[in-house]
Structure formats: C-alpha cells, structure tokens
Structure 1
Amino acid sequence: MDQGQIKRLQSAIRVTADGIMGRGSYTALFLRLGAGPERAAELALGAAVHVPAAGIDATPLRFAHFFAQLGHESDGFRAMEEYASGAAYEGRADLGNTQPGDGKRYKGRGPIQITGRANYRDFGRRIGIDLESHPEIAAVPSIGMLTACTYWTVRGLNALADADDVEGITRRINGGLNGLDDRKARLAVMKGLLQ
C-alpha cells in the first residue's frame, strides 16, 4: 500500500496518520477488529515484521483479504485456539491425523487456525519451530502470526486476493466455504477502513 492508503487506514483506526504501519498502527487495527489489548499488542509485534515480508501489505486488496480471513478464523482475533475439542478431527488422514489423540492435539490454533498433524509438521519446518512436537506453541499470537503469513504465502493467497477472489481464498484456508457470509462481511469492513 502506498503512504496515502496507509494514512487513510490510520485515520480510520484513530492513530497518528504518518503513513508507516508500525506496531502501534497494527495494535490499533487488531483492537478495532476485536482483539483485547494484550492480544492486539502481541499480534502487532508479529504482524509488523511478517506481513510486509510476505508482501501482504503491497496492495489494499491483499491486506483486506488477509485480515478478513484471519478475523473470521480467530473469532475477531479473540481465539488463538479452536473452541471445540478437536475430537472431530480424530482419524482424519487428510490432515495427517494418524495417531490416537491427534485430533485434539492438532486442533486449530493461531489466527489462521492451522489444523492437523501434517500442517503442524509442514509449517513448523517452514518457520523453524517444532510445532509438531509442541503444538500448543502455535497458539502464541506472535508465532501464530508468523505461521499465518507463511501459510498465506505458501498457498498462493496473495494472487487470489489480487483477483478479489474471496471464495478461492476461503477454499484454500478452510477446504470449503464455511463461514463465507461472515468472511465477506469482515472483508467489507476491511475495505471500508482502507478507503
């Protein structure tokens, strides 16, 4: 995003409009999107580093889609761990859940709600943290933000965001179209903040 777009966003979230998306601006954005103060600050710490590195802040559409999708997945950045027990994922070979207890152990965590032993192994290796052996670490907001940005990049979601393809992004994150109406509503909010 250019400085003018960032300044408009900063004005909308009521921080100093200096055209630089730093930790303070990200904290205000996460607060606006539903996170509590402590969670917002920790998510901002990760976002300030990893969002630019992943090219997510290159365009307003990428930025809007990213935050809308994560907002849906994490219940407005309030849940860094899935509310359900994870029992529904037990025995799901498509998620790599092949050992007894894998469903609960590898339930959704982080702002993108990474799920399944295979994803914990893959993305843990990509970020250099052993998420497979220590899945609870994925719920740490700053680590979850790194995982989310890595997931976004690996799955090619910037290209779908550039095409404004909310359904395509939803399928790559969710495997289906669960919560599509909420994702669209959150996207509309994000687009509104960026205008």
Structure 2
Amino acid sequence: MPITLQQLLLILPNASQVAGVFVPVLNIAMNRYQIVGQKRMAAFIAQVGHESGQLTRLLENLNYSADGLANTWPNRYADPDGKGGYVKVLVKDKLRSRPNALALSLAGKPELIANNVYAGRIGNIAPGDGWKYRGRGLIQLTGKTNYQLCGEALGLDLHAKSELLEKPHHACMAAAWFWSINGLNTLADAGDNPNIGSVINTGSKGKVPNGAADRQALYARALRVLA
C-alpha cells in the first residue's frame, strides 16, 4: 500500500509545508525499488526523514563551527591526546573534543570545509569536487562516483547539473536508488534499523551513525503508523 499524506505527517510532523509535494513522488520511488510493506517503508521513511530534516533540507549544510568539525570528524579536526583519543574541553557543561588548527582555520567556511572533508573520497579528485558533489537529496547522496552512478541509473546528467538532486522527484528517486544498490531492503526485512543508519551515514555496517537516537525514534513511530 502507498503511504498517505496523513501517515507521512504522523511520522514526520515537521514536513507539513512540503508533505503534499513529497507523498506522490515518494510512492513512485518506493514502488520502483520495491520498498514496500511495513518494515521496508518504515525504515526508509525514518532514514530519509532524519537525513533531510523531515523533508525540509535537500542540500547538505556544511556551515560548521570549529567545535562542530572537531566533534563530527574528530579524526580530522580534533587534537589527539596521545592515548588513542582526543583532548577534551568543557563546552556548555559537556565534554567535547578540542578543535585542532585545521578546524579553527576552516570554521564557518562551507565551501572550504566541503572540499577538505571530501577530498580524495568517493571519486572526488579534482579541486572543487567536494563542494560540487556535497550531500544532496533525501539521503544526502555524496561524492562524484555516487553522482555518476545515480545519474546513469536515473537518466540524469548529474555532472553538469548536480543541483537536480534538490528537486523533490529526483531527491526521492536518488534516495531509493541508493537504498536499493546498498541492499538496504534486506536489512529492513530483518528489522536492522541501526545498521541501515550505519551504512547510510558511515558507508559500512557496525558503526554508530550520527543521529542514531533520532533515526530509531522515527523508525519506531513509522512502524506504529504503518501497522
């Protein structure tokens, strides 16, 4: 059964301004890639809901502070403590990793951050690739290689027009394509929502993704709504 507007809003209440646009294209995308049935649909809606700020953000926000960089990518932007961890400082009553010099130099500069974070990864080899192929769509598709493969699958020239993934239809189709090629329907059938989030956010299973608690809360809600 396709998801209804009412169901989508019960799962993603913050999507009220855009839900009417997304319901039909979500159903087209999910049907094309066999994301059907309660478990698959619940997992998919939960994950894309988290990645897109409940369908309100189709372009990656890379306007990080130095603290944000250090605590999102500590292996790149935090000061090591010489013991396998990172130097900690107290920020608003919480212990946080201390930004290194690179983090301090990049803070508040989204284009420079993108080009540094994604340089040499996911097919990004030319100067500026990190910014051009930053996260877009409902699942924040990232990297030149993924853009190329997705474009070929969907019949889109995403090298020339990477911004197409910011359109609702293409954003949904790209997310469902990524879901399919990474075998996430199989994990959804097993109810393995944590590893789905790990694959989407880190590229492999067995890791704790950013926003794990929100991903799980949305999944639990989606299962109830779609029961």
Q: Which residue of 2 aligns with 1:145?
A: 172
Determine what percentage of the aligned residue pairs are the same residue: 33
Asked if structure 1 preserves the Cα contact closer than 8 Å seen for 2:7 and 2:225, the reply is no
Structure label with greater radius of gyration: 2
The unaligned stretches of length 5 or more in structure 2 are 63-109
Task: Report Cα offsets for 1:30-66 as digits up to 9, x if no partner.
Answer: 44412243x3232223112121121111x21111100
Q: In 2, Cα distance between the equivalents of 1:120 and 1:41?
A: 27
Task: Report Cα offsets for 1:125-159 as digits up to 9, x if no partner.
Answer: 11110112211110111111011111111111000
Q: In 2, Cα distance between the equivalents of 1:66 and 1:94?
A: 25
Q: Which residue of 2 aligns with 1:73?
A: 51
Between Structure 1 and Structure 2, the one with more helix by share is: 1
Q: Which residue of 2 aligns with 1:21?
A: 2
Instruction: Summarize the Cα distance change of 1:61–1:132 in structure 2 as closer, same or farther, 3 Å threshold.
Output: same
The unaligned stretches of length 5 or more in structure 1 are 1-19
Q: Which residue of 1 aligns with 2:131?
A: 104
Matches within 5 A, 1:39-188: 39-57=18-36, 59-84=37-62, 85=110, 87-90=112-115, 91-175=118-202, 176=207, 177-188=209-220
Alpha-carbon offset, residue 94 of structure 1: 2.2
TM-score normalised per structure 2: 0.70
TM-score normalised per structure 1: 0.80
Alpha-carbon offset, residue 86 of structure 1: 5.4
Q: In 1, Cα distance between the equivalents of 2:28 and 2:184?
A: 18
Alpha-carbon offset, residue 113 of structure 1: 0.7
Aligned residues: 171
Instruction: Summarize the Cα distance change of 1:30–1:83 in structure 2 as closer, same or farther, 3 Å threshold.
Output: farther
